[in-house]
A and B are shown apart, each in its own frame.
Chain A
Amino acid sequence: NAGVTQTPKFRVLKTGQSMTLLCAQDMNHEYMYWYRQDPGMGLRLIHYSVGEGTTAKGEVPDGYNVSRLKKQNFLLGLESAAPSQTSVYFCASIKKEGQKNIQYFGAGTRLSVL
Chain B
Amino acid sequence: LAKTTQPISMDSYEGQEVNITCSHNNIATNDYITWYQQFPSQGPRFIIQGYKTKVTNEVASLFIPADRKSSTLSLPRVSLSDTAVYYCLVVKGGTYKYIFGTGTRLKVLA
Please, how many angstroms separate the alpha-carbon atoms of A59 and B99 in the complex?
9
Please, how many angstroms separate the alpha-carbon atoms of A58 and B95 in the complex?
12
Q: Which residues of B contact A (CB under 8 A)?
A: 30, 32, 34, 36, 41-46, 49, 51, 87, 91, 93, 96-103
Q: Is the CB of B98 within 8 A of A102?
A: no
Please, how many angstroms separate the alpha-carbon atoms of A70 and B51 in the complex?
34
**Residues from chain A with Cβ under 8 Å of B42 in the complex:** 105, 107-108
**Residues from chain A with Cβ under 8 Å of B98 in the complex:** 33, 45, 103
Q: Which of A48, A92, A99, A106 contacts B97 (CB 8 A)?
A: A48
**Residues from chain A with Cβ under 8 Å of B100 in the complex:** 35, 42-44
Q: Which of B41, B44, B101 contacts A103 (CB 8 A)?
A: B44
Please, how many angstroms separate the alpha-carbon atoms of A48 and B98 in the complex?
10
Residues in A77-114 with C-beta less than 8 Å from chain B:
90, 92, 99-108
Q: Is the CB of A56 within 8 A of B96?
A: yes
Q: Which of A41, A90, A92 contacts B102 (CB 8 A)?
A: A41
Q: Is the CB of A100 within 8 A of B101?
A: no
Q: Is A50 an interface residue (CB 8 A)?
A: yes
Query: Whole-angstrom distance from the CB of B18 to the nearest CB of chain A?
Result: 20
Query: Whole-angstrom distance from the CB of B85 to the nearest CB of chain A?
Result: 8
